[in-house]
Chain A
């Protein structure tokens, strides 16, 4: 074992990359849950985004077109969920699971010609002056575009929820859909948009996995990232900045675990690979055991079916 081979700077830089997919998926799910919809299909939307993004990027040779396609792909899957839960009033949990099961199958069907193909490269964006700062520059300012976009999205979501009228309406719909309906807000419309946003960011997160982080297409490559994103929202107590924090913490664990594998720690690889899931569970337990916080933070109408009878 050679722990000195682990460079803390490289570790810090790569944790930002590891955190980006779940941060994107998590922030989208946060919006959808703030509107009162628990979408358990994040895993399915992510993997659909991963393959649509990969396929379009390979076909066009442009990774950014791929990422836009991934957002469309994730949103298309989310649209199915929105129609099922909002128009056809189906059970949210079951519909979310259906989305995940369908997405996993659909992506491996779509991805068959792409196994073993190399995607076009994404370029690192070295922010001019900032990336020359000795230590911080290497860690923070030498990444690809999506890493920065994900942080900007978190900031925008925070601003949207806190300072805009539309954000207030979205929160009202999530806290009490009957009251929001009585005030004349279109509950179904707001929820549709929130679900679609969640699908688009989850899709982008998936494409980041297949186009940048790995970069390759393999079946089932999200490997639970969507579920971890769902846990991240709980961890964040439905607050945008904590999604960012949680994602970076989690990214750190993943990267550390990978580095320990590479450094040849005398623990079988499989046990190290369990650690992200186990730590996610542990964090969930800690967060949810705090009775006051857990019950206050969750949107009031989360997971309840809205049917305007009059």
Chain B
């Protein structure tokens, strides 16, 4: 039999090693999954993790896509990591992402077709504000009425999705679109477009913002009092109270920050890669970002790497879909398995596994 012994503090080695190990185990399990679907497992894994970056056939298209897909994931996950550290569970990032996109697009459509340098900055502000405001609903309900923020933030995702559909079919529908649902293409409207900053890199303002958020989060968590309070509140809530941390203020801060960043991600997506508001605008970034945050160990640098990896599975998944006929859902399963293995292997960073029977003391 095995015996578990709690470590006084998590092992640094295992904390860094488990995500890598989880990815490897997921690749093996994913290979088995692909094999049962009747696909060559080695080819599928190679197609997902290697070819998007290094094959001559796909790389020219897919390399820029890496930043396009990873940008929103990193941006959202950095915001979520603050809350997850402090035990504030915002799992409604998808909703905040949608509302941010709607607010940003609304600004662009309001100015259409006027020129003006100030339109894009206004959209950025509107996007962040929209996400922030949507996250304030669970925050205020939590601090005022002690309502569970997990359920409220998640239920608001469904509300946001309905609102998105209502806007795509109603108020924001393109008047020149021949009655088809969806807004005007604002990425073709110069003052509102979130363009590629360096050609063929996929680098747009959202990706830049994501990088800034990573640096900002790193400094905040490791050099700033507020970051210390966030970590303290998560690890020792009672000690945090004695240290003068106000739990309510922390809830508002964590939800507000993650909401604003998710809103920004949505707005940059709508003005750039997606180009417009449509019924199927929400692609699940808000949920995948939860996996990214955990895979990155809630650490900004880790999230950066995890976001890039998860972005890669999206692109690789698309390629595998086209060439092998691998269903899109298989990638979702793959991502879910990754989180399972990560959580399972986390045991190693928090506990020592010792041989021998449980001793009675």
Contact = CB atoms under 8 A, between A and B. Distances in A.
Interface stretch (A12-20, A167-175, A274-282): A274-282
Interface residues of B, number: 52
Contact of A291 (B146, B159, B165): B146
A308 B351 contact: no
Nearest to B288: A101
A49 to B, nearest CB: 16
Interface string B271-300: 000000000000000010011001000000
B152 interface: yes
A104 B287 CA distance: 11
A270 B152 contact: no
Interface in A253-275: 268, 270-271, 273-274
Nearest to A93: B89
B159 A102 contact: no
A278 B145 CA distance: 16
A277 B156 contact: yes
Given A102-B336, A102-B339, A105-B336, A277 B347 contact: no
A98 B155 contact: no
Interface stretch (A52-60, A82-90, A150-158, A243-251): A82-90
A274 B339 contact: no
Interface string B146-189: 11101110111111001101100110000000000000000000
A165 interface: no
A108 B291 CA distance: 19
Interface string A162-182: 000000000000000000000
B38 to A, nearest CB: 13
Contact of A90 (B6, B290, B346): B346
Given A231-B151, A280-B155, A105 B332 contact: yes
Interface of chain A: mostly helix, strand, loop or mixed: helix
A153 B6 CA distance: 39
Contacts of B6: 307, 309
A89 B347 contact: yes
A223 B158 CA distance: 8
Nearest to B350: A89
Interface of A: 40, 80, 83-84, 88-91, 93-95, 97-98, 101-106, 108-109, 112, 219, 223-224, 227-228, 230-231, 234, 268, 270-271, 273-274, 277-278, 280-281, 284-285, 288-289, 291, 294, 307-310
Given A80-B340, A98-B336, A307-B351, 12 more contacts: A91-B343, A101-B287, A105-B329, A106-B329, A109-B333, A112-B327, A224-B157, A231-B155, A271-B166, A288-B146, A289-B146, A307-B4
- List 9 tightest A-B contacts by C-beta distance, closest first: A105-B332, A102-B336, A270-B166, A289-B145, A108-B329, A109-B329, A90-B343, A98-B339, A105-B333
8 contacts: A90-B344, A109-B327, A268-B166, A270-B163, A289-B145, A289-B147, A307-B351, A309-B5
